[in-house]
Structure 1
Amino acid sequence: MMDEEKLKRILDNAPSENEKWDFKAHWHEDKGELLRDILNFSNTVHHEDCYIIFGVSDDDGKIIGIENDDNRRNRQNVQDFLRGQKFSQNGYPLTDVTTFSLNNHEVDVLTIFDTDDIPFFLERDYKPKKGRQLRGGLIYSRINDSNTPRDQSTTDAQMEKIWKKRFRLDISVQDRFRYQMLFPNKWSKVVNSETTSYVWNEDSNYVIKIVPDPEEESRVKFEAFSYSQIDKRIGWNEVDFIVNGTQITYNLTNYLDGARLEVGSPDLGVFDDINMNTHSYYYLQKGRWNSRVTEFLYCRLGIDIGSMENAELAMQAFKKDIVIYSSEDERKLIEHKMASSWENISDGFIPTKEELNNMTSDLKSVSWKNESNFNWNDYAVQAIEQHKIAQYINEEMLKK
C-alpha cells in the first residue's frame, strides 16, 4: 500500500516512469484509456504493486494537483467501473485510490495490486459513451515505461513471462513453497510416531515435516512472547521444508499455553538508544518462514480438530507479546523511531514492583533453571521490557 514516504521517494524520480508507476497531470476523460492503463499495469511480470499518480506533470515532474479535476475518481468509482466489465476470467483487477496533500496540492494515487492471477483481458469489446473502444481478446502489458498499443496484444516474449508468473514458474522454489502455504486446506496431514507431516496435494514432492527439536532440553522454557499466556512455559519443535526429498530450509516452532497453539519462533528485534544501550523485543514479519508457519499451523487447527476456541485465546495473547510487521521497511522505520524517542518514553518500560514480583514468581514456576546463582530479577526485567516494547509499538506506532 502506498504511504506518503514511499510516494515522496517515487516523486524524487519524476518525471521518469517505468513498469511500476506512471504520472498523469489529470484523471482520464476517456474511460477506455483508464481501463487500458489499468490492464497494462495489472499484467506486469514483476511481483509488486503498480501506481498511477495523478496531479503530477509527466513532462517535468512538477506537482500541479487534481483538486479541480472534473474527472476525478475515488476508490469506489474505480472498483465499480472494473466490476462492470466483462473480463475473460472470474474476478477483475483490484485497485485502491489514496489522496495525499503535497506542496499545497492534492495528489491521487491509483494502486493496482499485484496478483499472480494474470493475464486480465476483456472477453468482449468495451464501447464507452465517450472515447475510443477497446477490443476484446487483446492482452495488454506494461514493458518498462511503455503500454501495449490499444489495437495490439503484448509481445510473445512478454506473454511467456506472464504465463510463467501465473503458474509461479518465475520464482524460486522457496518462494513457491511459501506461496503454497497460503492455502492450508490444500495440504494433507500425515502422522507418524513423533512426526507430523503435511503434503501438498498438487505435488507430493512438497512436504512440511514437524519433528521434535533435538536441542530442546538445552533451550529456555520461557520467552517474552509467552508473557500473556495462562501457561507461560514454551516448548520447541523443528519444522523442515522439503522438496523432492531435499530439505531446503528449516525453522523452529514454539508450542504455547500447554500446547494449545504452535507458532513459528519469532525473530528478536533490537535497537540502541542514544546512550548505546541495547533494547529488544519479539516480532514476526509477513512473508517470512516463521510468519507463514504461524499462519499455516493456526489455520490447520481448524481443519484438523475443528475447534479453535482455546487456540484463539492463545493467539490473542501471543499477538499482545509480539509485533507483526508488514515489511522490512516498516520494521526499520519503527525501530528507528523507538531509538530516537527512547529518552522521552523510557520510564514507561520500567517494571513496577508488583510486575517484577509476579514475573519472578512466574519464571521460578517454569523452573528450567536450577542454578542457585541464576539472576531471576535481571531476566524478569528484560522480559517485562520486551513485552512492554511490543505492546507500545502495537498500540502507539502501529495502532493495532
Structure 2
Amino acid sequence: MKLINELLTTPEDEYHDFKAQWYEQYTKAELIKDIFSFVNTSHHKDCYLIIGVNDKHEVIGVENDPNRLNTEKLTTYLHSLPIANSHTPKVIVQSIEISDHTIDVIVIKDTNDVPVYLDENKQPKQSKCIHAGQIFARENDTNTAINSSASDYLVERLWKKRFGLDLPIKDQYKVKLSDYSHWKYFELDKIGFQYTLDPDFCMYLEEDDETRYRAESYNLGQFRLSMSWNKLILKYRNRTIDELLVVFMDSATFMTVTPSLGSISPMSNSDMLTFQYYLADSLDFAVEKLILNMKRSSITPNYNQQSKLLKRIVIFKNYNQLKQIKSVLQKQDEYIKGKCAPTKEQLELCRGALSMDFGKDTPEMNQGHIEVMCEEANVSQFINNYLQSEIINNKRSR
C-alpha cells in the first residue's frame, strides 16, 4: 500500500504506468503489448500497471468496470498465447481501496527470461494483430508502438539481462552457478570446476594450511567425523573473484562450502549461543547448491549425508531475515540455552564417534570442544524448527 501511494505521486516510468480502465475486447492486443513491455525491461525489479487512475493521477476507480480480470483469469489468458519458449510472464492482480474507490494493480514480476515475444501471429477478436517475433519493450515512460518492434539497442540490453551480462561479476557468477548441468568437475594438473559454456568461469581447489578443528557441529551425524579443509578459488579468466573455504567430509566422500558462524547473543558475550548458517542469496550458497546438484559421487553428498548436513545448518533468505530472527530469539536466549543444552547421552555419543578418527589427546577430543559442537548443532536445529513453524503458521493465516 505504501509503495502504491508513492507511485500515485510519481510520473510514469520504467516501473509503472496508469490506466483509467481495464482493457476491452477490442484492446486485448494493447493488454498483451503493455504486459510484454514491462516484462521486457532491462532493470531487475517488478513493474506495476495501475488501473483506475487517469493521466492526471486522479483515482477514478474500477469498481464498476465490467472488464476486470483477477489473477487467475489474467494468467489463464496469458497461458493461451503462443509465447516463445513458454516463457509466460508471472502476474498478480491486487485490488486496493483508496480514496473511496477500488483500484486494480497488475504486478508484473521481474524475470531474466527476456525478451518475451510470440512465436506465432496473434490477433484477438476485434483487435490489432501482434506478429511473431515482434518485441515490445519499455524505455522510460514509453512502450514500443503496437505496429513496431523494439530497437536493436533495447533488444541487446534484454539479451544481456537474460544471460546475466549486465550484472556485476559476482552476480554473473551466481547466474552461471545455477546452470548445474554445464559445470564439469576435473582432476588434471589442478582440481576444480569449469563452466563448459564459458570456460572463463573456473574454480580451483587449493590446500588450506591454517590450523583448524577437523570436526565441526555441522558434520555431526555423518558416518565419519574427520574433515579436511581446502580453499576454493573462484576465477574469471586470470582474475580472482572470491575465495571460499570448503571441507571434504565423511571420509572425503563429499564436499561442502563451510557455513558462516552466527550467534543469537552478541559475539562479545562469553556465554553466547552459536549456530552455523548460509544466506540463500549469497555467492557461497550458490556454490553450495551447485555441489548439491552436480550428481557426482566424489563431490556431491548422497540423500542421507545431505539431510544430516542441512539439519545442522540454518538457511536464511538474506541478511535481513538473519537479523530479524536473531532479534526475536535474543528475547528467548535463556529458554533456548536450556532447550539446547546437550544431554550426557549426546555428549557420550559424540565422543564415541570422534574417537573413531581422533586420538584422545587431539583438540577435537577436548571436552569443551565437544560441548560447544553439540550445543551449536542443537541451536541450529532449534532455529530450523522455528523457521519451519513460521512457514506453517503463515500458510494457515492466509
Secondary structure of 2:167's match?
Answer: coil
Q: Which residue of 1 aligns with 2:379?
A: 386
Shift of 1:113: 3.9
Give, as a single letter, the amino acid of the residue that structure 1 aligns with 2:312: D
Q: How many residues align?
A: 383
**Cα distance change, pair 262–25 in 1 and its aligned pair in 2 (3 A):** farther
Measured against aligned partners, the alpha-carbon deviations of 1:317-373 in whole angstroms (never above 9, x if no partner) come to 12211222333443333333334x436953663425346634763686365873698
Measured against aligned partners, the alpha-carbon deviations of 1:287-309 in whole angstroms (never above 9, x if no partner) come to 42221111112222x2x44997x
Aligned ranges 1:129-208 → 2 under 5 Å:
129=125, 131-192=127-188, 195-208=190-203
CA distance in 1, matches of 2:285, 2:134: 39
CA distance in 2, matches of 1:338, 1:9: 29
CA distance in 1, matches of 2:345, 2:54: 58
User: Which of residues 52, 69, 72 in structure 2 aligns to 1:72?
Assistant: 69
CA distance in 2, matches of 1:19, 1:98: 19
Secondary structure of 1:294's match?
Answer: helix
Unaligned runs of 5+ in 2: 394-398
Shift of 1:9: 4.8
> Quick check: 1:321 aligned with 2:312?
yes
TM-score (normalised: structure 1): 0.77
Q: Which residue of 1 aligns with 2:248?
A: 255
CA distance in 2, matches of 1:56, 1:115: 26
**Cα distance change, pair 159–271 in 1 and its aligned pair in 2 (3 A):** same
Aligned ranges 1:1-400 → 2 under 5 Å:
8-15=1-8, 16=10, 17-22=12-17, 28-29=23-24, 30-52=27-49, 71-75=68-72, 77-87=73-83, 89-97=84-92, 110-129=106-125, 131-192=127-188, 195-215=190-210, 218-272=211-265, 279-300=273-294, 302=295, 304-305=296-297, 311-339=302-330, 341-342=331-332, 346=336, 349-351=339-341, 353-354=343-344, 357-358=347-348, 361=351, 365=355, 367=358, 370=362, 375-376=368-369, 379-380=372-373, 382-399=375-392
Report if aligned partners of 2:351, 2:370 keep a CA contact under 8 Å in 1.
no
TM-score (normalised: structure 2): 0.78
Measured against aligned partners, the alpha-carbon deviations of 1:75-125 in whole angstroms (never above 9, x if no partner) come to 4x33432232233x3222331436588789998664434333322223444
CA-atom RMSD in angstroms: 4.0
**Cα distance change, pair 307–321 in 1 and its aligned pair in 2 (3 A):** closer
Report if aligned partners of 2:342, 2:371 keep a CA contact under 8 Å in 1.
no
Measured against aligned partners, the alpha-carbon deviations of 1:161-212 in whole angstroms (never above 9, x if no partner) come to 223323433223332222222223223332136x422222233332121232
Shift of 1:52: 4.2
Secondary structure of 2:305's match?
Answer: helix
Secondary structure of 1:178's match?
Answer: helix
Give, as a single letter, the amino acid of the residue that structure 2 aligns with 1:394: L
Secondary structure of 2:32's match?
Answer: helix
CA distance in 2, matches of 1:78, 1:43: 18
**Cα distance change, pair 49–338 in 1 and its aligned pair in 2 (3 A):** farther
Report if aligned partners of 1:54, 1:66 keep a CA contact under 8 Å in 2.
no
CA distance in 2, matches of 1:65, 1:358: 68
Secondary structure of 1:313's match?
Answer: helix
Identity %: 22
CA distance in 2, matches of 1:286, 1:161: 27
Secondary structure of 1:120's match?
Answer: coil
**Cα distance change, pair 48–349 in 1 and its aligned pair in 2 (3 A):** farther
CA distance in 2, matches of 1:67, 1:254: 63
Give, as a single letter, the amino acid of the residue that structure 2 aligns with 1:396: S
Secondary structure of 2:6's match?
Answer: coil
CA distance in 2, matches of 1:67, 1:343: 54
**Cα distance change, pair 208–14 in 1 and its aligned pair in 2 (3 A):** same
CA distance in 2, matches of 1:105, 1:331: 39
Give, as a single letter, the amino acid of the residue that structure 1 aligns with 2:177: M
Q: Which residue of 2 aligns with 1:4?
A: none
